[in-house]
Chains A and B, each alone.
Chain A
């Protein structure tokens, strides 16, 4: 650790920087504590979703019954033609669109463009709610067709358990995110963060959570729906 660095205030980069961040007599992560804690929460959430997906892999590998074909199970009939996985593809695009509006909201937040930040966050929440609505439709469709956590007419019984557990937990994250985003959005609008002298970091922190939800969907889409 060099005193020259401390005096000049210039942070070292690379591995030298890692050593200094951890060993210097200061906060390790140079960011608001809320942001560091959000990252650590998301790391733990990564393990939760990984355990679900690994569990799904294990039951799918170990069953001797044929696994239901997701392209057919999640297909929709449009204009007399059956399109594979259509609803899921639309849900994917809705979530990606919401990720974009969220990224812009974070950017506008740092520019202190209060109204733009508010409306972009509301748009993100609305897209998130749309996603959950489509998921409710998907669940209803499957339940009417006889898919249960313990059995289904299309193949291996483990399909239902994995499906309801994984998409249910993800949907719960999206729902919680919608509420979280709306709370932050209305506080931004009311000028709550300016009064506290914050730098709108909370918008970035909420954004981290929202992007994470989208990130998890990328893996669910690949492993559960496409595989």
Chain B
């Protein structure tokens, strides 16, 4: 396998390419939805599908040996712990700010289009 490298039928790439276009169009579409859990779930789902396709097909990870898959895809799982800790921290800081400074009095402008 190492000698021939990653050689696959062209059809695989055409399908993946098309899928990425479709998924990106769907991602963009979510911007027109109303905010809510459904929209959040859709953003995450389309993101993971796109990311998975790029890594597994375009970067050929799907065809690599399990030793490489574990070595490269395993460590990023630790980021979930960082996300969790920093989400706790972010929520706590917001609470203390509200406690000591009160609600924001900022009156932002609406972005104008040029």
Contacts and interface: CB of A to CB of B under 8 A. Distances in A.
Q: Do A and B come from one complex?
A: yes
Interface of A: 11, 13-15, 17-18, 21-22, 28-32, 36, 39-40, 42-43, 46-47, 50-51, 54-55, 57-66, 68-69, 71-73, 75-77, 82, 84-85, 89, 92-93, 96, 99-100, 102-104, 106-107, 110-111, 141, 144-145, 153-156, 199-201, 204, 207-208, 211-212, 214-215, 218-219, 221-222, 226-227
A218 B108 contact: no
Interface range on chain B: under 10, 10 to 19, 20 to 34, or 35 or more? 35 or more
A107 to B, nearest CB: 6
A54 B59 contact: no
A30 B6 CA distance: 12
B21 A58 contact: no
B66 interface: yes
Main SS at interface, chain A? helix
Contacts of B21: 93, 96
Nearest to A20: B67
Contact of B79 (A31, A50, A85): A50
A106 B6 contact: yes
Contacts of A60: 90
A40 B76 CA distance: 12
A215 B51 contact: yes
B32 A84 contact: yes
Given A18-B66, A57-B90, A72-B110, A92 B28 contact: yes
Which 7 residue pairs spanning A and B have beta carbons closest together? A61-B90, A62-B93, A21-B67, A100-B17, A222-B47, A77-B113, A30-B2
A26 to B, nearest CB: 11
Interface of B: 1-8, 10, 13, 16-17, 20-21, 24, 27-28, 30-32, 40, 43-44, 46-47, 50-51, 54-55, 57-60, 64-68, 70-72, 75-76, 79, 82-83, 86-87, 89-91, 93-94, 97-98, 101, 103-104, 106, 108-114
Residue from B16, B91, B110 whose CB has the most chain A CB atoms within 10 Å? B110
Contacts of A219: 47, 51
A211 B90 contact: no
A104 B44 contact: no
Contacts of A69: 111
A85 B94 contact: no
Contacts of A207: 58-59
A77 B10 CA distance: 39
A59 B108 CA distance: 18
Contacts of A42: 72
